[in-house]
Amino acid sequence: MSKTDVLSDNSGSEHFRKEHDSMGTVLVPADKYWGAQTERSRNNFRIGTERMPTEIIRAFAILKKAAARANHALLPGKMTDEKLSAIEKVCDEISEGKLDDNFPLVVWQTGSGTQSNMNVNEVIANRANSLAGKRLLHPNDDVNMSQSSNDTFPTAMHIAALISVRENLIPAVCRLRDTFKRLEKENSGIIKSGRTHLQDATPISFSQEVSGWRAMLERSLSMLESSSYGISHIALGATAVGTGLNCPQGFAGLVAKEISDLSSHDFVSDENKFHALTSKDELVYSHGAIKALAADLFKIANDVRWLASGPRCGIGEIFIPENEPGSSIMPGKVNPTQCEALTMVCLQVMANDTAVGFAAASGNFQLNVYMPVCIYNYLQSVRLLSDAVRSFDDHCASGIRANRSKMEENLRRSLMTVTALNPYIGYENAAKTAKLAYSENISLKEACTRLGFLTEDEFDSVFHPEKMI
């Protein structure tokens, strides 16, 4: 792998090699490409099981490749053709997932993400040196050229966030939106009882009800897209504190262009690097749109499970797919499990929003040191929602069917259709009609005629629930 000694522990069961950094020599597993700083972090932060998200590692691969290209253009004497080619090759391997087991660090490390930046630097350098058969690259001098952990980690955060939202979450939401568009069209003309406060209300068409769900997703898509503008601005070029120390003139703009080309998404250099290092407001804003989507999805999933409740003792106005047995003791029971999974995910997203907000609020002076927990929660929200929306669409929403007979029965039994009589007998008389019908369990027509407000023919001429939508 590199020209270092291979050692074994006292039992001889595991092999190591010596790696060194500015603090001295460290033993590193011989079959891994990471170096001394990664190993120190691995040993010093044995906290939890939450690894640095794969999306961040992939973002670093894009970032390091882009930085090497920018350095090659601006500092060709330092970033030679040979070094550039070596860095590009290893970054491609990282992007393809070929080196995934070389990124062992947990989220709960230094708040700047320095150790994950160095983990990537060390893996690229050691893997390239192994392929070259010589010491071609140094993790700091070459792979980290013109960079600092302080500007690479927030840049990786924005790359990972933008790609995950645009390539995973937005397409998943678009699929569900299209399902609701289809349901809207298929159920045109079906009239049912509306509900407010979990109580009967005036009539609505089922397609109108579905249109509300569809519109929620359309608004959420608009918010997701507009809020992603902020995270297209990157910190790279700021180096340690925002001044760009040790960064060549023109690097920031050029590396943003390279990242855009490599990722197929537009990124620009943040014009105020002091803001870019210490503020995480763009991620808070973007996650706010994700939270808004979660709130709408929570409402939609609850509507679906209420409407499907039963099969005999609930509302029962829609049928949803029966995917698995719902009880270990009650034979034949089937539950709205996709609704339950989606709403649990939505709760997690809402909790994550609190963590993202507090993390962003905790920057001091020229750096935020809550970045790993901020991006961990952000990416978990995107990942969970993307998966849950696809699952809900595939296994529930796409199979929703109207129970027309139940909708008709509930509509005819609803007392709130009495609202149609307001223009003819007045609000107070209509209220008396509804109360009599409810107390004696009779129809609105019978109650209205018994009270003498309208004749049967008059009632029939003005009472048309299907026209109330």
Using one digit for the tens of pLDDT, what is the confidence trace for 137-193?
Answer: 999 999 999 999 999 999 999 999 999 999 999 999 999 999 999 999 999 999 999
Q: What is the pTM of this model?
A: 0.93
Give the C-alpha separation, 466 to 347, whole Å. 38
Domains and CATH numbers, the chain: 6-145 (1.10.275.10), 151-405 (1.20.200.10), 414-467 (1.10.40.30)
State the residue for tokens 């107070």.
Answer: 428
pLDDT of residue 14: 60
Residue 400 has pLDDT above 70, yes or no: yes
Q: Residue range 337-350: average pLDDT?
A: 98
User: Which pLDDT value is given to residue 328?
Assistant: 84
Q: Give the per-residue pLDDT at 5.
A: 41
Q: Which residues does 24 contact at the CB level (< 8 Å), separation at least 6?
A: none
359-378 average pLDDT score: 97
- What are the pLDDT digits (tens) for 406-449? 999 999 889 989 999 999 999 999 999 999 999 999 999 999 99
Checking if the pLDDT of 8 tops 50, the result is: no
Residues pairing with 7 in the sheet: 16
Check if the beta carbon of residue 168 is closer than 8 Å to that of residue 215: no
Give the contacts of 108 (CB within 8 A, at least 6 positions apart): 45, 47, 48, 50, 372, 373
Rounded Cα–Cα distance for residues 168 and 266 (Å): 17
Annotation marks residue 264 as catalytic: no
309 included as an active-site residue: no
Please compute the mean of the pLDDT values over residues 273-294 and round it to a whole number.
98
The catalytically annotated residue of 197, 264, 328, 439 is: 197
Q: State the burial class of residue 308 (Cβ atoms within 10 Å of its Cβ: 0-12, 13-18, 19+).
A: buried
**Tokens representing residue 237 in the block:** 């070029």
pLDDT at 327: 84
Question: How many whole angstroms separate alpha carbon 220 and alpha carbon 224?
Answer: 6
What average pLDDT does the structure give for the chain? 95
Q: Is residue 330 very low, low, confident or very high in pLDDT (cuts 50, 70, 90)?
A: confident
From the list 327, 405, 443, 461, the catalytic residue is 327
Determine contact, residues 162/232, Cβ cutoff 8 Å: yes
- Here the tokens at position 419 are 């609202």
Rounded Cα gap, residues 400 and 193, in angstroms:
18
385 with 172: CB under 8 angstroms? yes
